Amino acid sequence: SSNIRNPEVQSTDDVAGLEDCIDFSLAKTISKILEKLEKGGLPDCLDNDDIIPSTGNEMGAEAQIRFLKAKLRVTQEELDSVVCEYRKKEDENQNLKSRLKDMEEENTRLQRTVGMQRSQTEKYKMLSQEAKKKSEVLQQEVIALEKVLQ
């Protein structure tokens, strides 16, 4: 039923591969429980209603084993789903970190460019003011020369 909800979930046969991806010993724990079950004894924790419902006390050992295996499969599928989602989020996080770094570098580059353009703007303003003063001086000379010519 979990596979219907989330088709990206890996099959439960791949659970042992999860140990390689995360530091989690679910497979070891499962194998220990299965060994105890095969030896004929059920672990003490199985009396808990969270694991086997109250009707579980009326089930035989084989039925309890099937029930526990089914519950284990569902739990493994949920774990696979969570691990898959974790990987996606981790990849997205790495992507965002990379984009942030690129944006910071771009920002630094643009700030340098803006600084250079401001200094050039100031330089051209000063040149413009000097040219304007020179133009006014030359205008005065033209006016003076026109008076002399008249």
Range of the domain at 78: 65-149
Phi, psi of 36, deg, nearest 5: -60, -40
pLDDT digits (tens, 9 = 90+) for 4-38: 444 444 444 444 444 444 445 666 777 777 777 77
137 belongs to a structural domain: yes
The total number of structural domains in the chain stands at 1
100 belongs to a structural domain: yes
48 belongs to a structural domain: no
Provide DSSP, 43-67: -GGGGSTTTS-GGGGGS-HHHHHHH
pLDDT digits (tens, 9 = 90+) for 79-124: 999 999 999 999 999 999 999 999 999 999 999 999 999 999 999 9
Give the dihedral of Cα atoms 97, 98, 100, 105; nearest 10 deg: 140
- Say whether 111 sits in a helix, a strand or coil: helix
